[in-house]
Amino acid sequence: MSQPLPIAKSSQIIHLLPQMSNRHGLIAGATGTGKTVTLQVIAENFSRIGVPVFMADVKGDLAGLSQPGVTNPRLAARIETLGIAHTFAACPVTFWDVFGAGGHPVRATISDMGPILLARLLDLNETQSGVLALVFKIADDNGLLLLDLKDLQEMLKFVGDNAKEFRTEYGNITAASIGAIQRGLVALEQQGADALFGEPALELADLMRVSADGRGMVNILAADRLFHAPKIYSTFLLWLLAELFEELPEAGDLEKPKLVFFFDEAHLLFDDAPKALVDKVEQVVRLIRSKGVGVFFITQSPLDIPEDILGQLGNRVQHALRAFTPKDQKAVRAAAQTFRANPGFDVEAAITEVGVGEALVSFLDPKGSPGMVERALIFPPSSLIGPISPQDRQALIQSSPLRGRYEQAVDRESAYELLRRRAEQRAYREEIDTLARRQPAPATRPVGRRRDTAMDTFMKGTARSVGSAVGRALIRGILGSLGGRR
């Protein structure tokens, strides 16, 4: 059994139990109250016992996990108050970056992302989302790989041009819906999302590595630029969570998680999200524990998390909340009610009183029951608090064993190339037919033979390429991405 993880101290040390960490958790509190340091301390502890973690670094503060910490008067005073032995040490870190500047490039294919998450990215209404799902089905049925944005753009054009011929089998596909999706893709491309889609796609095994000395890898996604497009940021993290659910085998209750996933700025996931998507997220969070994955949501207020999901977050660290407005006061009351009360103090009052680095803490006990809430000081991290220099970051990227695996984009034959080739073939055939019609018809010309339509030509060509392009059926998972895709 893995040793309990020391996270905070009240009258005694408060431990997070590794075997209960796949029951998920919440780190909440107002800006500047210490959420990032708490995340850092929890991540260090998981890494120390051999559990890989993944987190998005929105402000650049988490890069310090890669360097040993340094003392200062404030930190020394905290260590003395806690009365603990403390050593400084770095964690093994791998940096990732959708844009490839602050880490290894991380990509997903359009097919992997699936129509449900893409519809959210594109702000589509229900009708437009249905049309996008049909476009994906037509692509899947005909072995057309959708790898990057130009594949989807070409597929939309083809389906729009031949909507009447698809209507019988797939239903009505309106030009207005196709146009709305195309405009959304242009806007997405302008936000830099084209860097996210393509190959080589991220292999989840590369997030679940351990270092030579047995410590879990700390995977840090540089998200300072990505965060400026909040819907892309939150949808990408949700896609990654869904991929973990789809690809990992059932594991049951383990003595420690296979991976711990920290979802920072979690409110972005649920802002303006349709109920159908929230229900899917709730389902993923509920079921992914059986795959050995723990999820910690980091946000300002517990009210940012839908109630059905909040009820699944058994391990909680609540930093200070402000109570200046009626809405703030409601959030404080809601946060207090989520804890198992402690007769020693007023939980609701304490939430507004705790200082920076102090929090109300309740972790699950060995039976899975919430522990009584304690007002406690969070332990200081062993690694550096704050950002690191660009030179240190680049040195770690250059020395990473993953260097070279994702840096060079690959553009293999997919929907764009196949559809363009079919279009060229149709244009050539139509030109030949036009020339032939200008000549006198030969006496032996067959009578009554129907000329192939553009759709016929396409389908014949596609049928020849399905085996080589796909080689097996495509099965979409819980959020519309492809399960077992590679």
Q: Of residues 252 and 166, which shows the higher confidence score? A: 166
What's this model's pTM, rounded to 2 decimal places?
Answer: 0.89
Lowest mean pLDDT among 209-213, 234-238, 320-324, 462-466: 462-466
pLDDT at 465: 45
Mean pLDDT of 140-151: 95
pLDDT at 466: 44
User: In angstroms, how far is CA 248 from the centroid of its own chain?
Assistant: 15
CA distance 147 to 480: 15
- Contact between residue 341 and residue 331 where contact means Cβ atoms under 8 Å apart: no
Residue 319, helix vs strand vs coil? coil
pLDDT of residue 252 exceeding 60, the answer is yes
Tokens of 380: 């200081």
Whether the pLDDT of residue 444 is over 80: the answer is no
Name the percent of the chain lying above pLDDT 90. Answer: 78
What pLDDT was estimated at residue 469?
A: 41
- What's the chain's Rg over C-alpha atoms? 27
Mean pLDDT of 404-432: 89
| CA–CA dist 389, 342 (Å, integer) | 44
